[in-house]
Structure formats: C-alpha cells, structure tokens
Amino acid sequence: MDQLTLITFLPLVGALLVLLTPASQEKALRAIALVTTLVVAVLGVQLYLAFDGSSAALQFLVDKAWFVLPGSAIPVRYKLGVDGLSILMVALTAVMMPTVILSTWGHVHKRVKEFMLWMLVMQTGMLGVFVAHDLVLFYFFWEVSLIPLYFIVGIWGGERRLYATIKFFLYTLAGSLVMLVAVIAIIYQFRTADIPTLCEQASSLALSKQVWLFAAFALAFSIKVPLLPFHTWLADAHTEAPTSGSVVLAGVLLKMGTYGLLRFGIDMFPGAALEHAPLFMALGAIGIVYGAFLAMAQTDVKRLIACSSVSHLGYVVLGMFALTYAGLSGSILQMVNHGISTGLLFLLIGMIYERRHTRALDQFGGIAATMPIFAFFLVFTVLSSAALPGLNGFVGEYLILLGAFQAKPLWAIIAVLGVIFGAVYLLMATRRVLFGPVTHEENKHLEDLNAREVVLMLPLVILAVWIGFQPKPFLDRTQGSLERLVQKIEVARGAQNASLEVPTTEESVR
C-alpha cells in the first residue's frame, strides 16, 4: 500500500470505525478519532522528512486507472503525488488534526459520533485536495471537502449557524461550478486530465483562451482564499463554527484556495497569471489593509480573528502574484504560518468561550491576573500572528514583502502599512482581553488552562518557534518546485515581452 493512498484514506478507515461503534460510547469514539489522526500525523511527518526538496518532480507517485470518459476516451486516472508546492500543506494538515481532535474534548458534547465522523472525512477530503494530480480527482476532493464542514458548522455551530453554513456552501459552490466548466473545457482541449501534462501544455494555448480559463479557475479559488470582494462568508462561517471547525477552516481549508491559485493559476497558465499579476497584487495589498480595518471595528473576538485571516491571506496572495522566488516561497511558508498562528488563536478563544460562554470583547478584561498561562499563550500567539521576528510569522511575511517589493514597490509599501495596522488591532484586542483591572465578577475566578489544553497547543507552539528560528529546512522543501515555477514564469515573461516588441526599460532586478 503506497504511502499517499494510505495517508489520504486512513482517516476514512477511522471514520468507518467510528460509524461502527455505538453513539453512546463517547470515550471510545474520541479515542478512535484521536488515534487515527495521530497515526496520520506520524505518517505525515515521515512523508515530510522523506521528501527531497531539491527535485521538482512529483514524489511518492501513485497512478492507477480509474475510468474512461465515453466517446472521446479520455482516461481519468487515480493519480496522487506530492511536490514542493504541496508538501508543506500536506504535513500541516496531518500534524494539526490531533490538536483539533484533542480540543473537541472541551467543546463538543452532543452527537459526538457524527462530529468525529465528519472530522475524519474532512481530513481525507483536505489531504486529497493537496495530493490529487488528476484534474477530475482534484475536483472530486475539492467539492467533497465542502460537505463535512457544512455539517460541522450546521449542527454544532452558534445561533446563526444555518444562515452561515448555507451562505458558505453556496458561495464556494458557485465558484467551483464555474471552475467545472473550465475544467471540462481544458480536459477536452488537451484530451487528458493529468495535471502535470496540462501544466506543460496549457501555456501553449492562445493568450485569450488562457486568460478566460485562468479567470474561471481564479474565481473559484479567490472565493475560497477569500480574496477581497468575496470574503464576506468567512466572518459568518468562523463566528458560527465550533472552535475545532474554525481551527480547521482557518488552518487548512482556506489554504486550498491559495494552493489552487498557485497550482492552477500560476503553474498552469503562466501567461495569463502574468497578465493578471498586478490586479491580484492590488487585491492582496488592499485586502491586508481592509482586513485590518475590519478587525479593528469588531466587538466579537472570534469575528475579529476571522477578519485578521482576510488580512493574513492578503499577504499570501500578494507574495504569490509578485511572481518572484522570494514572494512565492514566502507565500507558501505563510500558508503554514497562518495555519499555526490563527489555529492557536481560535483554540485559545475556544478555551475562553468554554469558560465564559461569551465572545464579546467588553465582557473580558484583566484575565491575565487570573489566568497567567492563558495570558502567556495568547501573547505568544498574538506576537506570532503580528510577525514578530524570531517567530514563524516574520519569516513568511519578510519574504513576501521582499518579493512584492521586487515586483511592484507600490503594493509592497501598502502591505507594509498592514504590518502596522496588524499590530494595532491585535494589541488592542489583547489589551481588552488580558490587561486592565478585572471589571466583571466572573473573570475573577476563572480556572487556568488544564494539562490537556496546554498539551494540545504544544505541537503548534513548538512548530511556530522552530519555523521562526530555523526556517531553512521548511524553505528547502519548496526549492526544487519553485525554481521550476520561476523558470516557467521567466519563459512566459519572455514570450510576453517578445509579443509586445517593446524593449522593457525597467531592468529586472533579481
């Protein structure tokens, strides 16, 4: 049994086990889920270590026949593989799930069986998206991964959960259905559904057709990222989702959008990506500042973090569409960083919610006195999220800003403003939660984090410090693929300039 099939479908086996155990035995259900995710985590780390970062080729390849489309006899294959662009996200998804499952001890008490079932199915869906290398298989995993979160938000969510879950489902679905037409068009155009071959051949398309296909793909992924105009579903989905749902949504699901933009936007249609790069850089940069202002005005702390996600992912898109090596590697690393820091933030807010059952900022104040350990972790996470050097956020952000500056200095400068506003809203929130006199009676005798809650956060904290101090092994993992990608972009840039016949005055600085 090859590694990738094992790691992708092991959670499904766990889900089956959960299905078979009676709903009454909650302890056993939680144990199964935890054990499964732990095994997958070990596999994920093993995969990460065995991955050779310098080669751009697909590794751990699995390639079996699946079915053949009638008439034109286009083979659709069950093809899995990992390359530099996806290895970090696969490892993160595998490593984060045990933390998420462990956190459900605190806040999921009713219908535990269904919750564990949906969590495990979601993990398979997410891993599938990152490892699928057949366009149809990718589309299958892309849409199927919507359903588990739909149920998780819908059943265990807050008051407006039905509104939030329908809105999130239909919004993402609309994007992916437009993408479906593009997927069909490109498969029948090149008579194959294999992503690597499509990536090579697609750049040979006429620019106008390439731009149309790119727009369709980019729309679906921009909704998922979420990029600026399509972000309104995120705040509702986060606020109404249960803690573990928010952690997974922020930690991994949003990255499927950015990964999609990378794989199907830039890798598949470099010409069109070049054409649209300034637009996306603009949306990213403005998204950063817009998200920051949004967060400043929030009164619900969970909604505040959701808005901060809009701002953070603005960085990722900015870095990606700078189309420079630094920008690209920074954006891939920032996908992981955002998963860690925002995941931790949601976990912490979840812990406070379990104790105070409210998320309104003015209900807190002076909690640092009664819960020092909680205060330590919250300040730590806020600093990692505000990109303090020495922690994970900084490495990604520095590379992104550097890459963006090399491409379009204007957007980089606007993004640097985001650094300031980011610090502003995060520190304002920390101050209103932790510092100041204890005004509310309940805050006086909140008991501090217990062992379970600290242990479940440790892997993410250690990862944050490790990426902060020693980012080289993580960055080296993406080296091979990124060199291939940058080389591809140069070719497309050359072709574009040749077609323009205008000697470019602005010397390109590497």
One residue of 438, 446, 465, 495 binding other proteins per CB under 8 A: 438
Contacts to other proteins from residues 272-311, by CB under 8 A:
290, 293-294, 296-298
- Least Å from the CB of residue 42 to other proteins: 28
- Least Å from the CB of residue 62 to other proteins: 17
- Least Å from the CB of residue 264 to other proteins: 17
Of 48 and 405, which CB lies nearer to other proteins in the complex structure?
A: 405
Q: How far apart are CA 165 and CA 27, in angstroms?
A: 28
Nearest to 149 by CA among 219, 254, 220: 254
Backbone angles phi and psi of 79, in degrees to 5: -120, 120
Please give the structure tokens belonging to residue 342.
């925002």
Of 48 and 169, which CB lies nearer to other proteins in the complex structure?
A: 169
- Least Å from the CB of residue 378 to other proteins: 13
Residues with Cβ within 8 Å of residue 458, at least 6 apart in sequence: none
- Least Å from the CB of residue 41 to other proteins: 26
Fill in the per-residue mask, 71 to 90: x = in contact with other proteins (CB under 8 A), - = not in contact: xx------------------
The answer to whether residue 332 forms part of the interface with other proteins (CB under 8 A) is no
Other Cβ atoms less than 10 A from the Cβ of 111: the count is 14
Q: How far apart are CA 350 and CA 456, in angstroms?
A: 13
One residue of 93, 329, 341, 392 binding other proteins per CB under 8 A: 329
Q: How far apart are CA 119 and CA 248, in angstroms?
A: 9
The answer to whether residue 167 forms part of the interface with other proteins (CB under 8 A) is yes
The answer to whether residue 13 forms part of the interface with other proteins (CB under 8 A) is no
Q: How far apart are CA 364 and CA 443, in angstroms?
A: 7
- Least Å from the CB of residue 466 to other proteins: 13
Would you give the distance in Å from CA 329 to the centre of its chain? 15
Contacts to other proteins from residues 121-150, by CB under 8 A:
139-140, 143-144, 147, 150
Q: Containing H/E element for 61?
A: strand 59-68
One residue of 105, 115, 130, 171 binding other proteins per CB under 8 A: 171
Would you give the distance in Å from CA 203 to the centre of its chain? 27
Contacts to other proteins from residues 342-371, by CB under 8 A:
366, 368-369
One residue of 13, 56, 173, 215 binding other proteins per CB under 8 A: 173
Q: Where are the alpha helices (DSSP H) in 301-389?
A: 301-320, 325-356, 367-370, 372-385
Contact stretch for other proteins (CB under 8 A) within 32-40, 61-69, 199-207, 262-270: 61-69
Residues with Cβ within 8 Å of residue 118, at least 6 apart in sequence: 148, 151, 152
Contact stretch for other proteins (CB under 8 A) within 41-49, 62-70, 248-256, 350-358: 62-70
Other Cβ atoms less than 10 A from the Cβ of 471: the count is 19
Contacts to other proteins from residues 375-434, by CB under 8 A:
376, 383, 388-390, 394-395, 398-399, 401-403, 405-406, 409, 412-413, 416-417, 419-420, 423-424, 427-428, 431, 434
- Least Å from the CB of residue 230 to other proteins: 8
One residue of 12, 13, 282, 486 binding other proteins per CB under 8 A: 486
One residue of 1, 27, 70, 500 binding other proteins per CB under 8 A: 70
- Least Å from the CB of residue 187 to other proteins: 8
Of 151 and 280, which CB lies nearer to other proteins in the complex structure?
A: 151
Counting every residue written for the chain, the total comes to: 510
- Least Å from the CB of residue 281 to other proteins: 15
Would you give the distance in Å from CA 420 to the centre of its chain? 23
Q: How far apart are CA 144 and CA 123, in angstroms?
A: 11
How far lies 389's CA from each of 198, 384, 392, 460, 473, in Å? 40, 8, 8, 17, 18
Residues with Cβ within 8 Å of residue 68, at least 6 apart in sequence: 74, 75, 76
The answer to whether residue 233 forms part of the interface with other proteins (CB under 8 A) is yes
Contacts to other proteins from residues 104-123, by CB under 8 A:
none
One residue of 51, 151, 214, 346 binding other proteins per CB under 8 A: 151
Contacts to other proteins from residues 444-473, by CB under 8 A:
448, 471-472
CB-count burial class (<10 Å; 0-12, 13-18, 19+) for 297: exposed
Q: Containing H/E element for 106?
A: helix 84-107
The answer to whether residue 491 forms part of the interface with other proteins (CB under 8 A) is no
Q: How far apart are CA 189 and CA 102, in angstroms?
A: 47
